[in-house]
Structure 1
């Protein structure tokens, strides 16, 4: 709970030029989108390295960071086309706070075989990555895990700033391996192991706990963090009901967690990319109503860099 003495509340509010919700004459409004006023608590040098963690929206952000000559280690990771058609680093996508926390904690370590599940033909699927269920050989699965662990180890080590895009609160959990999963195991494998897996719709306490654990790790490493919520909606829900209402709940909870985290950690800023995209309505999205139009991503990244870049 946030409390302010009555007189101070009036004084602070009168000094706040952004206190009123913007109408269409407000400078924060432009072309059917709002660009909320932000006050960065730190800056990013143009010669710094920025590490990105998140889903497809984070991948889009990488492209425009590169266009501004910012060094972004994750943008250069490439998986073979058959593993990542269309985008060679899509396997880096992390969707829920649990897997984001796990990959930060495992950075630079030798990976183990947990959450790698065998297929009928001897191939395996790695449910800690965004593979779309694409199977590979066991040796390739371990090789790829080591490549990503090395990327996180070296990339985080070289980075001064980390941009984290929280995606959703729905996740699968492997009770045997004690791991959050990035993708659901195959339905046949789940049915063969009925007591091993469970679906979780993370609540506030669990979600806040894993986000804070991840941020504490990055704080201990001396990193500055820009925390955002992805505007990309939940595409399929396992929690029952309509995906539209489940998505609204997911984003709302993540937004609360992000606010709490930015208040708790001095080195963490919240950046309102979610608010910017959603105030633009369906104009902000492609025909699938899921992926944000590149021109909108570019405007948002430019707005962020104008505020943060020295």
Structure 2
């Protein structure tokens, strides 16, 4: 019997595909099940890293779907709009995504209506940071929620492509009915009874089940939708497990990557974009991470997005099509003042709920 690996393409061999290409920048995408056209209505959701995809789509002139805009309704502030297709905030877990869908269609009615802060403001537990000052009344919050869920339905039914970035397995849920929220209530100053919310870390089976349930529902309301999955390369900012945050990060990302693999193997029509591998793989030598070893540098983001443009955006400008080579040496935010770093975060428009965990008052 001859060697079955003989004659296989170069991209299937580590030396040719990774070791010899590391200096120029490794592009691990070999085939795609579909491409995106400028006229496609594209919705993005997931962890903070998903916001880079939405910015790339908008800057390339593609139809990033936006179904919820600021109207000046009573009790609302012009905050959190234009970052997500609808003002749902970051959806870190598969449970949060599925529950958003089920809440939008009346299939799930969580018992938690609102959180109250010490200042008297009302927060939506499922998107507590979309409006920093909260809502002035419970009525204003619930009216905004009705408008919001209608916008979520328009998004799910109107998108030609839905891109979801899997971010975390760790989260907080209601002890009463399992409702998933992006942050523990104490992180945002909500005055909730002790034990009303508990930590929950989903495993592979649960995460897969939640994603399967979501995809089944999505295809009922939008049979022609195309789906793309990706995994965020951003590590956990903190873990609530009694173990090292590095171990929890690898465990979480491994589960999410395995779920994405299982779903794409079952359905070849679901696309997987390897942003996680592009940033975290050994070929980068860690140079795509900033000094904190967590934040992805602008160069790292641009390299990931250049590969996305090259393979997935048909009709994109020629100048944006070729992947940019990564920097030969690290180009993190080292040496940059806190003021300049803060300005960069504002300009890039990345909203991360996790940051509240370690800001003053969020960590003892």
TM-score between both structures, scaled by the size of structure 2:
0.72
Q: Distance in 1 between matches of 2:171 and 2:202?
A: 7
The answer on 1:65 being equivalent to 2:57 is yes
Structure 1: which 4+ aligned runs deviate by more than 6 Å? 110-113, 187-191
**Equivalent in 6, 11, 22 of residue 18 of structure 1:** 11
1:132-211 matches, cutoff 5 A: 135-137=134-136, 138-186=138-186, 192-194=193-195, 196-211=196-211
Which of 112, 115, 122 is matched with 1:114 structurally?
112
More divergent stretch after superposition (148-157 vs 206-215): 148-157
Closer/same/farther in 2, CA of residues 113 and 191 from structure 1, 3 Å limit? closer
Q: Compute the RMSD of aligned alpha carbons.
A: 3.1
**CA distance, structure 1, for counterparts of residue 68 and residue 300 of structure 2:** 23
Query: What is the SS of the residue equivalent to 2:141?
Result: helix
Return closer, same or farther for 1:38/1:102 CA change in 2, 3 Å cut-off. Answer: farther
Whether 1:283 and 2:278 are equivalent positions in the alignment is no
Q: CA deviation at 1:115?
A: 5.0
Q: Mark the CA change 1:37 to 1:129 in structure 2 (over 3 Å): closer, same or farther.
A: same
Equivalent position of 1:3 in the other structure: none
Aligned-pair CA distance for 1:231: 0.7
Looking at structure 1, the residues matched to 77 and 235 of structure 2 have their Cα atoms a distance apart, in angstroms, of 27
Structure 1 residues 134 and 233: CA distance shift in structure 2, 3 A: farther
Cα distance, 1:45 vs. partner? 2.0
Aligned length: 297
Report the CA distance between 1:106 and its aligned residue.
3.1
Structure 2: how far apart are the matches of 1:30 and 1:105?
Answer: 46
User: Within 5 Å, which residues of 2 pair with 1:22-41?
Assistant: 22-26=17-21, 29-31=22-24, 33-41=25-33
Provide the residue aligned with 2:273 in structure 1. Answer: 271
1:98 is matched with which residue: 95, 99, 110? 95
What secondary structure sits across from 2:28 in the alignment?
coil
For the 8 Å contact 2:49–2:232, the answer to whether it is kept is yes
Contact 1:107/1:149 (<8 A) preserved: yes
Cα offset for 1:217? 2.1
Post-superposition shift, 1:24?
4.1
- SS of equivalent residue, structure 1 residue 34: coil
Any idea what SS the aligned residue of 2:229 has? strand
Mapping of 1:41-56 within 5 angstroms? 41-56=33-48
Residue deviations 1:272-304 (CA, integer Å, cap 9, x gap): 110001123442133443332233223322312
**1:77, CA displacement in angstroms?**
4.9
Residues 116 and 287 (structure 1 numbering): CA distance in 2 closer, same or farther, change over 3 Å?
Answer: farther
Change (3 A) 1:298 1:128: same
* Alignment-derived partner of residue 232 in structure 1: 234
Q: CA deviation at 1:154?
A: 1.6
CA shift, 1:47, in A, is 1.0
Other structure's SS at 1:227 match? strand
Match of 1:244 in 2: 246
Distance across 2 between alignment mates of 1:198 and 1:262: 32
Gaps of 5+ in 2: 71-75, 315-364
Listed as ranges, the gaps of 5+ residues in structure 1 are: 1-5
Structure 2 vs 1, CA of residues 244 and 75 (structure 1 numbering), >3 Å: closer, same or farther?
Answer: farther
Residues 1:169 and 1:51: Cα distance change in structure 2 (over 3 Å): same
Distance 1:288 1:184, change over 3 A: same
Q: Deviations over 1:132-180 (max 9, x none)?
A: 8853332342244234323322222221111100000001111324311
Aligned to 1:127: 125
TM-score (norm. length: structure 1): 0.83
- Give the secondary-structure state (helix, strand or coil) at the position aligned to 1:173: strand
- Does 2:263 correspond to 1:261? yes
